[in-house]
Amino acid sequence: MIRQVCINCGEEHEADEIVYFCRRCGDLLEIEYDYEELAERLERSDWRSLPLSVWRYRDFLPIRDLSKVVSLNEGGTGLHLCSRLAKVIGLKRVYVKNEGENPTGSFKDRGMTVGVTKALELNMKTVICASTGNTSASLAAYAAKAGLRCIVLVPSGKIAYGKLVQALAYGAEIVQVRGNFDQALRTVIELSERHGEVYLLNSINPYRLEGQKSLAYEVCDQLGGRAPDRVVLPVGNAGNISALWKGFTEFYRLGLVDSLPRMVGVQAEGASPIAQAIKRGSDVVTPVENPETVATAIRIGAPVSWKKALRAIRDSDGTAETVTDEEILEAQSMLARCEGLFVEPASASSIAGLKKMVELGEIDRDETVVCVATGHGLKDPDVMRRVGKPLEADADVQSIERLLGLTRPSRIEAS
């Protein structure tokens, strides 16, 4: 039994009702299962023998007709033990879950494989989203695979070039709107409410978040059936932190792990309404009017899932932190140089946030920490100007030796 339940008043909505907000109070919805039924199904299931991927967890997902699944082989991303990074930061064990390894290079693919499959189940012909870039790239790819029309609204001039190129290549109809992400989101919500045949796949859609929770399941399985002590991730529109928390709590509830992690949300200083609310100890979030950060993926002033995010942080005894653009870019470079992982600025904010918390003495040296690197570095090459320029030389051995200070090998004399 699957239901869409209001996170505020508990009102239940049918699984197949096309609804994005509670019909009674207007708050966000969440997918709920009959967990006893799920536990029984798991006993009969061969899920543990399936390879790591989103669909390994099909029993935990709200899709019953597997013949409709739209997949590009998402999930199963690396959980990298980052010893050199840990040493620099001053911790014993830091892992990076590298979501850039997904088909379109971000964690959004976990959500879209489920969300677009749901769109097919519901017989929708058009899908729509507002995006700072990654959501549009991902939706465009899955819509292409499913043969659906895809419309995306992006803030004009403010999204990373690589992401725009992806969405165009996959054939989406892209509209650059004169406004920021928050305005674009308000517009697509209204459009999908006026046009019933247009299915909204922003993270308001609870089916999409069901796919994203698989990241938490994978981390537990990759750690050998244990949850980490702490999970650090960037927060923008605030869907992902709540999806991950749901995943961890479900594994805990089903007896698949025996502890829960503390969730740490990291935001860029110029776009940090959730971190500010946590620091103030407030139950409401005050939107940031003109959000600004080099991490364009999380350049969001009015996160739609703020209530879910505050709950995830408080229920997990977690926290939120802000980082400057400078700290983000420094962390991006550090992760690439220490660990060979090139991630986009928003993703690097989790590393920057972790570093800051260690410096502030807020994290125990012995904790097992997982940082989520949400998207690939190649999506946003512009910000990497600070990596420096290549050197230049004539194409001969002597020039290169001189340039790089390579000493000439001494000749081995024939005896």
Q: Footprint of ligand F0G on this chain (CB under 6 A)?
A: 106, 131-135, 203, 234-240, 297-298, 344, 346-347, 374-375
Q: How far is the CB of 4 from ligand F0G (least distance, A)?
A: 19
Closest CA to 35 of 252, 343, 272, 318: 252
Complex with ligand F0G: residue 256 or 346, whichever CB lies closer? 346
Spell out the residues 6+ positions from residue 203 whose beta carbon is closer than 8 angstroms to its own: 111, 135, 209, 212, 237, 238, 239, 240, 243, 304, 305
CB of 239 to ligand F0G, least distance (A): 4
Of 132 and 214, CB closest to ligand F0G: 132
Quote the least distance from Cβ 121 to ligand F0G, whole Å.
Answer: 23
Nearer to ligand F0G, 98 or 135 (CB): 135
Q: What residue type is assigned to position 98 of the chain?
A: N
**Shortest Cβ 241–ligand F0G spacing (Å):** 6
What single-letter DSSP state applies at residue 320? E
Tell which residue, 331, 373, 344, 333, has the closest CA to residue 163. Answer: 344
List all residues 6 or more positions away from 330 whose beta carbon is below 8 Å from its beta carbon: 352
Beta strands at 262-268 and 319-323: parallel, antiparallel or unpaired? parallel
Q: What is each CA distance from 261 to 38, 79, 370, 371, in whole angstroms?
A: 23, 16, 10, 12
Instruction: Compute the least distance from the CB of residue 332 to ligand F0G, in Å.
Output: 12
Nearer to ligand F0G, 53 or 135 (CB): 135
CB of 77 or CB of 131, closer to ligand F0G: 131
Cβ atoms 103, 381 nearer than 8 A = no
Q: What is the smallest separation between the CB atom of 383 and ligand F0G, expressed in angstroms?
A: 13
Count CB atoms within 10 A of the CB of residue 37. 11
Least spacing, CB of residue 109 vs ligand F0G, in Å:
11
CA dist 236 and 298 (Å) reads: 4
Spatial separation of the C-alpha atoms in residues 84 and 127, rounded to whole Å: 43
Smaller CB distance to ligand F0G: residue 63 or 185?
A: 185
The whole-angstrom separation of Cα 47 and Cα 307 is: 32
Return the number of the residue (318 or 375) whose C-beta is nearest ligand F0G.
Answer: 375
